[in-house]
Chains A and B, each alone.
Chain A
């Protein structure tokens, strides 16, 4: 990419709110049911039925607003977005338009250079999801599944302040992290609970006026967001550099071919004829309600990260990783609380060995084979010199495999560290006797050979000798 171009990206993130029932009806929102088994007459848009707002949805949206330091509107309005589509039963989607429930928020990400950057959040509004059209398995027709119709969504719209695909992903990850901290969304991207549209444009560096944008629809993974934006940026720059003009349009990302394709142009775009929905009253929230919601806010990722750095003296990058998800940070804190080890060491274990095994088995931290307090016991055994850090890895693997607690495994496998000086001395003596050549070289000044002797002793003891003591004794004997 040429350095003469500035990239401007805004994201519209659709988050499914984790309510049990739909936004305007009592149907279940559970994922994966048989088609059309979770759609009642309201979801089907039957004549005469009316929407009734799910109060929980309002509470969740307000919670999000407070979490991003936004204004939670005292009065917001539902509007109808009118268009025809078979999976839109009423011929309109109930959304919010002129007066959304959340306006003017912000969050901070690290930009390309690792510098903190503020990203403005224009608004977040409530709306209902549409159903799903199924185009395979039907002859000369399509199937419609309305289970998803009426599922509550919070659409979070950023300012066009993201400068690269990486920043866009960092922003999206941050929102993902926040909604899960708030427990207002499961953030499940495979099931479509968290997806986004990206508005992408480019302009010559220094130019005030924004370039013409293309909107890439329905990106449902962080990887696709990054790839789609990068493709789109290249495409737009290429067009302009070739003397062409970018047209305003909606595009789809094709992950199989890693490219975006035109879906419809501005001229073909619907005129949605928004107007206030006369079936629903304005949502009026008083200060008392908003304050009550504020009381339910948990510690959020940024604050928690700072606390981890301040209190546990963690490396910033590690604190960042540990605070991405609330369960992971909770896990870490239990380990720290229940063990006598240094927090950074605990962090290394959680981020390193534990995360590696979780990833390998595709598990979330909640499903870890090793509970936080069990890991704490293992770390305590390192701290009290029962085992070395190296042996601990072996114990850890055995724990993961379900062979028992740290203490049971250490006992069963006889992994307890040898700390008896006379026992170690005897082994050191034997090693010295067996390697006269190396002893001579060492004494002649080849200090590097210390490691060789330590290695030999560890080999003899199956790694169980206390490494500190071994070092000490070898030094004494060879001096």
Chain B
């Protein structure tokens, strides 16, 4: 079984397969869009994966895509359906960030990611649910309620791009955008059995992506195959004059090297990522997947990232610091939720923000405000920045020896909704293997590598800066050897 095996039903097909079907005239974009909109509608009640479904606009776009195709026009993604995490600004369609404070916010412009995918011909079916302002690892902090995991709706799909991951896993859409600040693409991909790619910091423009932690945030994709991630990256990647931190680096054709063999590829297994915190059964699955790559010609090396153990505390200083400042603009003055009948300016601020933000966002704003305060800045923020340098150095030293670093994406399979909500530290530790890549700005991908108790396990590959093509190629090769990524939850077949 391979990823190229075309399922009969449209919703089971990958983007690559759909593209072929559209090109061959097997079905139209309109039929495809209608099919998926019906599935979204049908399963919204059980999954709550969407905040907004843009059915009418999608159907209108599909008609245009069909007309373009008939005229021999249209971009590389012409007529292919996609959904966006609800923190990418979409002109005329509300962008809530999963927050009450932006419940009715309609952006007057499109995010770079949104317009690039639209320019390539992709059709947006809707906006997906997420942890509020991307702060969370379980999708339970959303003002619009938690998203459930299609593999078991009592479980969390992970977060913060949980809506995107659940929608792709449940075969409601073939692909979704996400954002990853500390693991928010890779962890939900792992927990839902999907592919999640977080590109190098700066590879994809952040323009129009509502900021959580600006030095860590990066837009990426959740798909069902590495090949599909490559197709989307071809449209999304590249410098953007509107984002000073976007990288002036050539964009390769990410599909070009997918067929490259893993022979000679040096894969480093991070000793610290196979520690006591990792569920033993999950560890077995990850090891087995790496052995499969070894058998295909890759070499496995044990490597050390001595400072990686400091990544969670470092992250929980840097990210809240930046978020405390980034979220200051939500003050009830120009947009977003505004308290009724404020008695003075302070009351307007306090109540608008008090009513508008949820508990986890408030916790992080307070933490961030604290670590930046006079007298604490050096001990927290500055020290965290220094540790961040150490972590980056660990990675760059390791990449002198290996081509890819591999290990688990998350310590366990999906956990129950409500299980960790009272214990933020345990919740934060769910990102222990993913945060390092954000702190160092490295690309990472999570791909399905098996099941434990019928729940998916994720294998994480991390590469040097701008080595997305290498990660995608390795992931694609793995998906030629295995069919984990083709398996979907039975209830959503």
Q: Would A84 and B328 be within 8 Å (CB), given that A47-B95, A273-B372 are in contact? A: yes
Contact mask for chain A residues 269-305; partner B; CB cutoff 8 A; 1 contact, 0 none: 0010111001111000000000000000000000000
A356 is an interface residue with CB less than 8 A from chain B: no
Contact A50 B244, beta carbon cutoff 8 Å? yes
**What's the Cα separation between A52 and B207 when bound, in Å?**
11
Asked if B369 lies at the interface with its beta carbon under 8 angstroms from chain A, I say: yes
Supposing A47-B102, A48-B89, A278-B322 touch, asked if A92 and B244 sit within 8 A by C-beta, the answer is no
Among B69-77, B107-115, B220-228, B267-275, which stretch is in contact with chain A?
B107-115
Which chain A positions have C-beta within 8 A of B345?
Answer: 86
For chain A, residues 34 to 66, give those with C-beta under 8 angstroms from any C-beta of chain B.
41, 44-53
Question: Which one of A45, A51, A281 has the greatest number of beta carbons of chain B within 10 Å?
Answer: A45
Chain B residue numbers with a CB within 8 Å of A275 are: 321-322, 325, 372, 377, 381
A90 within 8 A of B: yes
Stretch at the interface among B17-25, B50-58, B208-216, B403-411: B208-216
Set of chain A residues within 8 Å of B321, measured between Cβ atoms:
275
Residues in B neighbouring A144, C-beta threshold 8 A: 333
Closest to A52 in B: B244
Q: Are B242 and A82 in contact (CB under 8 A)?
A: no
Residues of B228-249 contacting chain A, CB below 8 A:
241-245
Question: How far apart are the CA atoms of A90 and B244 in the complex, in Å?
Answer: 18
Give the interface centre of A47, A49, A53 by most chain B CB atoms within 10 Å. A47
Verify if A455 is at the interface (C-beta below 8 Å from B): no
Chain B residues near A45 (CB-CB < 8 A): 329, 334
Query: Which residues of B have CB within 8 Å of A46?
Result: 107-109, 329, 334-335
Does B328 contact A47, Cβ atoms closer than 8 Å? no
B residues 341-378 touching A (CB-CB < 8 Å) = 345, 349, 369, 372-374, 377
Kindly state the separation between the CA atoms of A198 and B231 in the bound complex, as whole angstroms: 59
Residues of A within 8 A of B211 (CB): 47-48, 279
Question: Which residues of chain B are within 8 angstroms of A41 by Cβ–Cβ distance?
Answer: 108-109
Report if B11 contacts A (CB, 8 A).
Answer: no
- B244 contacts across to A, CB distance below 8 A: 50-53, 279-281
**Prevailing SS type, chain B contact patch:** loop
A151 to chain B, nearest CB (A): 18
Min C-beta distance of A51 to chain B, whole Å: 7
Residues of B within 8 A of A271 (CB): 373-374
Name the interface residues of B63-104: CB closer than 8 Å to any CB of A: 87-89, 95, 97, 102
Q: Which partner residue on chain A sits nearest B95 by CB separation?
A: A47
Q: Is the CB of A86 within 8 A of B109?
A: no
B331 is an interface residue with CB less than 8 A from chain A: yes
**From residue A185, how far is it (CB to closest CB) to chain B in Å?**
25
Query: A41-B109, A48-B89, A275-B372 in contact; A91/B328 too (CB < 8 A)?
Result: yes
Shortest CB-to-CB span from A270 to chain B, Å, is: 10
Q: What secondary structure prevails in chain A residues at the interface with B?
A: loop
- Bound-complex Cα distance A90 to B374 (A): 21
Q: Does B105 count as interface, using CB distance less than 8 angstroms?
A: yes
Would you list which residues of chain B between 284 and 329 have a CB under 8 Å from chain A? 321-322, 324-325, 327-329
Cα-based distance from A83 to B36 in the complex (angstroms) = 46
Q: Does A251 contact B (CB under 8 A)?
A: no
Taking a contact as CB atoms closer than 8 A, the residue among A82, A84, A278 that contacts B214 in the complex is: A278
A278, B384: Cα distance in complex, Å: 15
Rounded to whole Å, the gap between the CB of B356 and the closest CB of chain A is: 13
Point out the residue from B105, B322, B325 that lies within 8 Å of A47, measured CB to CB: B105
Q: How far is the CA of A80 from the CA of B323 in the complex (A)?
A: 12
Q: Tell yes or no: A89 within 8 A of B by CB.
A: yes
Q: How many residues of B contact A (CB 8 A)?
A: 45
Distance (whole angstroms) from the CB of A296 to the closest CB of chain B = 25
Q: Please, how many angstroms separate the alpha-carbon atoms of A280 and B243 in the complex?
A: 9
With contact pairs A48-B207, A48-B209, A275-B321 given, residues A91 and B107 touching in the complex (Cβ less than 8 Å): no
> Which residues of chain B have C-beta atoms less than 8 A from A53's C-beta?
244
A271 to B242, CA, bound (A): 30
Within the complex, the shortest CB–CB distance from B130 to chain A, in Å, comes to 14
| Cα separation A42 to B243 with both chains bound (whole Å) | 12
Please state if A49 and B208 are interface contacts (CB–CB under 8 Å): yes
Question: What's the Cα separation between A89 and B331 when bound, in Å?
Answer: 9
Complex: A82 Cα to B326 Cα, angstroms = 10
Check if B171 is an interface residue, CB within 8 A of chain A. no
| Residue of A with least CB distance to B369 | A273
B87, B207, B214, B331 interface centre (most CB from chain A within 10 Å): B331
Give the residues from 65 to 106 in chain A that come closer than 8 angstroms, CB to CB, to chain B: 80, 82, 84, 86, 89-92
CB distance from B441 to the nearest CB of A (A): 11
Please give, as numbers and ranges, the residues of chain B lying within 8 Å of A49 by CB-CB distance.
Answer: 207-208, 242
Contacts of A52 in B (CB 8 A): 241-244
The minimal Cβ–Cβ distance linking B24 to chain A, given in whole angstroms, is 38
User: B89, B111, B244: which has the most chain A beta carbons within 10 Å?
Assistant: B244
- Rounded to whole angstroms, the CA-CA distance of A46 and B107 in the bound complex is 8
CA distance A144 to B321 in the complex (A): 28
In the bound complex, how far is the Cα of B334 from the Cα of A54, in angstroms?
25
Nearest chain B residue, comparing its CB with the CB of A277: B214
| A47 x B373 contact (CB < 8 A) | no
- Whether A273 contacts B325 by the Cβ 8 Å rule is yes
Q: Is B203 an interface residue (CB 8 A)?
A: no
| Interfacial chain A residues near B198, Cβ < 8 Å | none
Query: Does B186 sit within 8 A of A, measured CB to CB?
Result: no
Confirm or deny: B127 has a beta carbon within 8 angstroms of a beta carbon on chain A: no
Distance in angstroms between the alpha carbons of A46 and B95 in the assembled complex: 12
- Cβ–Cβ contact A89 & B329, under 8 A: yes
Which positions 318-364 of chain A face chain B at CB distance < 8 Å?
none
User: Which B residues are CB-close (under 8 A) to A278?
Assistant: 213-215, 245, 322
Answer yes or no: B476 CB below 8 A from chain A CBs.
no
Q: A279 vs B243: C-alpha distance in the bound complex, in angstroms?
A: 8
- With A44-B334, A53-B244, A273-B372 known as contacts, the answer to whether A82 contacts B328 (CB < 8 A) is yes
Given A84-B349, A275-B381, 6 more pairs with CB closer than 8 A: A46-B335, A47-B102, A48-B208, A274-B372, A278-B245, A279-B245
Going nearest first, the 6 A-B pairs with the smallest beta carbon separation are: A91-B328, A278-B215, A273-B372, A278-B214, A48-B208, A47-B210
- A-B contacts, 24 of them at CB < 8 A, read A41-B108, A41-B109, A46-B107, A46-B329, A47-B102, A47-B107, A47-B329, A47-B335, A48-B89, A48-B109, A49-B207, A50-B207, A53-B244, A84-B331, A86-B333, A91-B327, A92-B325, A273-B372, A273-B377, A275-B321, A279-B245, A280-B244, A280-B245, A281-B245
